[in-house]
Structure 1
Amino acid sequence: MSAAQAPIDLQVAGNRLRLLAGGVERFDALIGMIEAATSSIRLLFYMFTEDDAGRLVLDSLIRAAARGVDVRVLLDEFGSGAIRPAFLDPLSEAGGHHCIFHPKIGRRYLIRNHQKMIVVDDRAAIIGGANINEHYLTDIGPQHWRDIWLAVDGPAVPELGDYFDALERWVRGPRPLIRKLRRIIARHSRGSGPLAWRFSGPMRKHNPWPVQIVKDILGARRLDIVAAYFSPSRAMLRRIGGVVERGGSARLVTAAKSDNNATIAAARYTYNRLLKRGVRVFEYQPAKFHTKLYIADDIVHIGSANFDFRSIYLNLEVMLRIDDAAFAAAIRSFVDGEVADSLEITPEIHARRATGWRRLKWAVSHFLVTSMDYTVTRRMNFVD
C-alpha cells in the first residue's frame, strides 16, 4: 500500500476486516496466524512453492502440528506441481495432513482449485489472490506481484471452515464426482446481509458467485473492476457498459505487466467495446498485477476470482461479498490509489496501439485464454 493510502481496518457485522495490500504485510500476517493457532489450521492454496517463503510457511505449519494443532493442507496439483513429493513429508511426520486436488481425464481435467484461504481456530481467516510464493510475499524486485489479501476475524469465519472440510472430504473420497462438488458449492454459498460467502465452480447453471456479481452489476450506478486477468464474455461487457449508459460510472484496472502476456493481450481485445460505452480503462504500471476486487455501489466482492472465463465458469473460487457503505468507501479509496499508479488507456492511446497485427494477436489471445489453461498460454508471447 502506498504511503498516501491509509490502512483499511474496519468492523462489519461484528467482524474485523483488514486489507493486506503489501507482500511483507501478508507474509507477517500469515506466519502470525499460524504461530498463534491453538486448535486447528485449514490451509488451501492454488500455488505453494518450494522457495524461501514456502519453506518458512511450511516450517511454521510443522511447528503448529508438533504442538498438537490439527493442521490440514489442500493444494492444487497444477498450481503447486513444481514442489517435490517429499517436500510435505515433514508435515506428515509432525502429525499434520495434506492432500492434493488432482485433475482427472475427462471434464474434471479442466478444473483448477484456484482458491486461496487459511482458517485458524474457526476465529480468523485470510482470503484473496496472492499465492504462497516469494514473489507474492515481498514488495521489492522486478518479479514481485501487486496483490491483496483480506483478513477476517469474527463470526463469519466458521462457515469458511465448514466449506474447507466439505471440500477436503470430497477430494479424499473414493468417488469425487462433479455433481457432489456442485452440491458443496451451492450448499455453502448461503446467506445474505452484510457478509456472505460466495463460491464458484464447474456449475451448469446458478453458479453462486457469477450469478451474484451479475445481479450487483445490473443494479449498480458506480462500478469498479480490479482484475489482473480480464477476458469476460460479450454479454458481461455489455453489462459493464450498461452502468455508464444508465448514467453511472465504471472503471477497469487491469495488468500492464504479468508472467502471462496472453492474458494482457486478451484484456486489450475487450477495450474497444468498453471505451465506446464510456468505461474508463487503466493498466497498473509499477509491478506485475494479480489483484481481484470488485465494487458495485456499496457492495464489495473480494477473493480469488479473476474476471475471465475460467474464474466465472470453471475454476473453484472463493469470494466474500461485503455489503457495507463505509467498507466500500474505504476500498474505493484504495482503488483510487491503484488508479493513480496506472496508465489510463484513452480511446486515442488504444487507437494508436491497435495496429492490424496487434488486433489479430489480441483476438487470438482472447480465444486461447478462454479455451485453454494458463499453463499453456503462459508460454506464448502476445504482447509487444
Structure 2
Amino acid sequence: MSANPAEQEKPRAPFNNRWETESFFTDNDAYFANILAEIEKAKKSVCIEVFIFERDHLGERFIEALKAAAARDVDVRVIMDGAGSFRHGFSIAEELREGGVQVRIYHPLPWHWERFHLALNPGGFFVRLRVLISEINNRDHRKLYLVDDVTGWAGSPNITADHLSCEAGGKGWHDFAVRVTGDSVAALRESFNTLWGYTHKKWRQKLIGNFWSSLSLRSRRRKNRRYLAKISQAKSRVWLCSAYFSPSRRMLRAIRTACERGVDVRIIVPAGSDVPFFKSLAVSYYETLQSFGARIYEYLPSMLHGKVLLADDQAIVGSTNFNHRSFLHDLEIDVLLHSADAVSSVESALLNDMSLSREWSPAVGERPGLRNWILRVFRYWS
C-alpha cells in the first residue's frame, strides 16, 4: 500500500512555526528515490543520521551518492549508531571517509576498539568503560536526512533493503515518513549539529511546534510530556501506530483518560515482529487496553515498522515507538505535520492499515498468559 505525497504551500518566512511544504510517504521505494535524487542535486551540504546502515543494494546506492556529492565539494556528514550498524558500519565508514565524507559512530560497542576513533567522543579507556557501564543501552534511533538546509526527511525507514518493496528486492516492510521544506529545516540542522558537536545553540522555543527531539534528558522529558498530553487531552480521536508497543504506566493512564472522555482510541501494531519476544510482550497489554475502551488492530500484510500518532487533527511522524526504549533510552526525532492535506493523508493511510488488519479480541489472536507477563520484567530495556 502506498500513499501519494501530499503537499501544501506555506508562506515563506524565516524560522516560522510551520513547514513550507509537507509530504507524507508510505511508499518506501518512492521515499528513498526522492532522497537519493536530492542528494545527487545537493550543492552545499548533506547530513544523514540513521540507526541502521547496511551494505546491501540500497546501502550501496547511498554510499555511491554520498561519495559523489563529496567529490563535488559538498559538505557531507553521516552519523550512524554503533549497535544498529554493527554489521557493516565500520567498513561503510572507512569507505565513505576515503571518499571525502565525514563519518561519526554513535556509541560504538565497547569491545569494538578499532571503531572508537570514529566515535562522537573517541576518548580513551575510561570513556569506553563509561559507555560499557552506563551508556551501552542508549542508542541513536533517529532517521534524519538533510540537503542544503532547505529539505529534510524523517520517519521510520533505515538504510537497509528490508524496507524496500519485494519488487525492488526488499522485504516490503511498512513504514511512515515525511519530507519537509523551507527555512525552518535549519532547525533540524541545528539538532544534527548539536549531536555532532559543532554547535550547542539553544533552539528557539517557537520551533518546538515543528519537531520534537530527545538529544538531552531535558528535551526527552519535554517530548514525553507532550506525547502524553496529546493523548490524554485529545477531544475526538487518538490513533497510534507503533512497531514495538510496550507502553509505560503513564502512557496507559493517558490512554485510559482519553477513553474515559469518549475519545476514539485505536492502536495499530504488527501481527508479527522481527524481534522474537516483542509480539508476546505487546499482547500482555491488550486486555487492559481493551477494558479502557481502546481498539487494537494487528497489521497482517508485512512487518509493520511505522511510528505515527494522529491526535484530533495533529499528525506526528518519526522514529519514536510507544515503548520504554524510545521513551527512556534512545535518541529520537519526530516531525509534526500541520497542513490539512498531509494530515488527511495520514488519516487515509491509517484507515487503510486498519482495513488490512484483524481487530484483536480474546477470541481472536494470541491471548496473554504467564509467559507474556514474565516478559514485562524486561520491558525497561526493550
TM over 0.5: yes
1:220/1:349 CA distance change after superposition, 3 Å: same
Match among 164, 187, 194 for residue 159 of structure 1: 187
- 1:115 paired to 2:142: yes
Query: 1:117-154 deviations in whole A, cap 9, x for unaligned?
Result: 01110010110011000111334478331112211111
Give the aligned partner of residue 138 of structure 1: 165
1:197/1:45 CA distance change after superposition, 3 Å: same
Match among 129, 143, 156 for residue 129 of structure 1: 156
Counterpart Cα distance in 2 of 1:14 and 1:277: 36
The 5 Å alignment of 1:1-384 reads: 1-2=1-2, 7-11=5-9, 13-83=18-88, 85-102=90-107, 104-140=131-167, 143-169=171-197, 187-188=202-203, 190-191=205-206, 195-200=209-214, 203=217, 207-221=221-235, 222-349=237-364, 353-354=366-367, 358-368=368-378, 370-372=379-381
* Residue pair 2:22, 2:337 contacting (<8 A) in 1 also: no
Query: 1:159-218 deviations in whole A, cap 9, x for unaligned?
Result: 000111110117xx9xxxxxxxxx88xx4483258x422112562786122111111112
5+ residue gaps, structure 2, are: 11-17, 109-130
Tell me the amino acid that sits aligned with residue 150 of structure 2.
Answer: R
- 2:297 counterpart SS class: strand
1:360/1:145 CA distance change after superposition, 3 Å: same
Higher strand share: 1
How well do the aligned residues superpose, as a CA RMSD in angstroms?
2.3
1:192/1:74 CA distance change after superposition, 3 Å: closer
Counterpart Cα distance in 1 of 2:72 and 2:218: 44
Query: Does 196-205 or 230-239 show the bigger shift?
Result: 196-205
- 1:145 counterpart SS class: coil
- 2:159 counterpart SS class: coil
Give the aligned partner of residue 116 of structure 2: none
Counterpart Cα distance in 1 of 2:328 and 2:23: 29
Counterpart Cα distance in 1 of 2:335 and 2:216: 19
Counterpart Cα distance in 2 of 1:223 and 1:147: 19
Counterpart Cα distance in 1 of 2:159 and 2:317: 18
Counterpart Cα distance in 1 of 2:204 and 2:138: 19
Counterpart Cα distance in 2 of 1:363 and 1:91: 45
* Residue pair 1:201, 1:207 contacting (<8 A) in 2 also: no
1:9/1:323 CA distance change after superposition, 3 Å: closer
Counterpart Cα distance in 2 of 1:163 and 1:205: 11
* Residue pair 2:178, 2:317 contacting (<8 A) in 1 also: yes
Give the aligned partner of residue 177 of structure 1: none
1:216/1:165 CA distance change after superposition, 3 Å: same
TM-score of the aligned structures, taking structure 1 as reference length: 0.85
Query: Does 69-78 or 218-227 show the bigger shift?
Result: 218-227
Query: 1:239-279 deviations in whole A, cap 9, x for unaligned?
Result: 11221211221100011122113111111111011111111
* Residue pair 2:284, 2:372 contacting (<8 A) in 1 also: yes
Counterpart Cα distance in 1 of 2:19 and 2:220: 29
Query: Does 243-252 or 200-209 show the bigger shift?
Result: 200-209
1:25/1:160 CA distance change after superposition, 3 Å: same
1:50/1:14 CA distance change after superposition, 3 Å: closer
Tell me the amino acid that sits aligned with residue 371 of structure 2.
Answer: K
Query: Does 27-36 or 12-21 show the bigger shift?
Result: 12-21
- 2:197 counterpart SS class: helix
1:362/1:143 CA distance change after superposition, 3 Å: farther
1:11/1:252 CA distance change after superposition, 3 Å: farther
Query: 1:335-368 deviations in whole A, cap 9, x for unaligned?
Result: 1011111111134325xx32xxx51221123332
Counterpart Cα distance in 1 of 2:66 and 2:83: 22
Query: 1:303-342 deviations in whole A, cap 9, x for unaligned?
Result: 1110000101111000122345553333112110111111
Per the TM alignment, residue 281 of structure 1 is displaced from its structure 2 partner at its CA by 0.5
Per the TM alignment, residue 50 of structure 1 is displaced from its structure 2 partner at its CA by 1.1
Per the TM alignment, residue 99 of structure 1 is displaced from its structure 2 partner at its CA by 0.8
- 1:26 counterpart SS class: helix
* Residue pair 1:299, 1:324 contacting (<8 A) in 2 also: no
Counterpart Cα distance in 2 of 1:152 and 1:44: 16
State how many pairs are aligned: 351
* Residue pair 2:161, 2:170 contacting (<8 A) in 1 also: no
Query: 1:268-307 deviations in whole A, cap 9, x for unaligned?
Result: 1110111111111101100011000001111111111100
Tell me the amino acid that sits aligned with residue 156 of structure 1.
Answer: S
Counterpart Cα distance in 2 of 1:76 and 1:102: 7
Tell me the amino acid that sits aligned with residue 371 of structure 1.
Answer: Y
